[in-house]
């Protein structure tokens, strides 16, 4: 395992957090985890959210890194 390093995690609003982590992914997971949770969607959840006008954010392609993670359905 890598030695921990300090990472500055910045939001689009300009807020910054200093995080000690073993990698960039771990630092992001720490910050995001304090504001969000993630679980596999059930088909009923998908139908409900799309029925309310929600949109699917595609995190599978090259444009995935350009999506705004602050947009909530």
Residues 14-64 have pLDDT tens digits of 899 999 999 998 999 899 887 777 789 999 999 999 999 999 888 887 655
The predicted model scores a pTM of 0.54
Q: Where are the alpha helices (DSSP H) in the chain?
A: 24-33, 43-51
Is residue 7 within 8 A of residue 19, CB to CB? The reply is yes
Q: Which residues have C-beta within 8 Å of that of residue 55, sequence separation ≥ 6?
A: 73
Higher pLDDT, 70 or 3: 3
Residue 20, SS3 per DSSP: strand
Query: Residue 35 has what pLDDT?
Result: 79
What Cα–Cα distance (Å) separates residue 25 from each residue in 47, 52, 69?
31, 32, 15
- Residues 42 and 9: their CA atoms lie apart, in Å, by 31
């Amino acid at each position: 395992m890598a030695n921990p390093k300090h990472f500055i995690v910045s939001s689009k609003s300009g807020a910054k957090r200093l995080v000690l982590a073993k990698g960039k992914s771990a630092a992001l997971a720490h910050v995001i985890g304090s504001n969000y949770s993630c679980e596999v969607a059930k088909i009923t959840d998908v139908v409900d959210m799309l029925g309310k006008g929600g949109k699917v954010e595609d995190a599978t392609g090259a444009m995935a890194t350009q999506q705004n993670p602050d947009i909530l359905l």
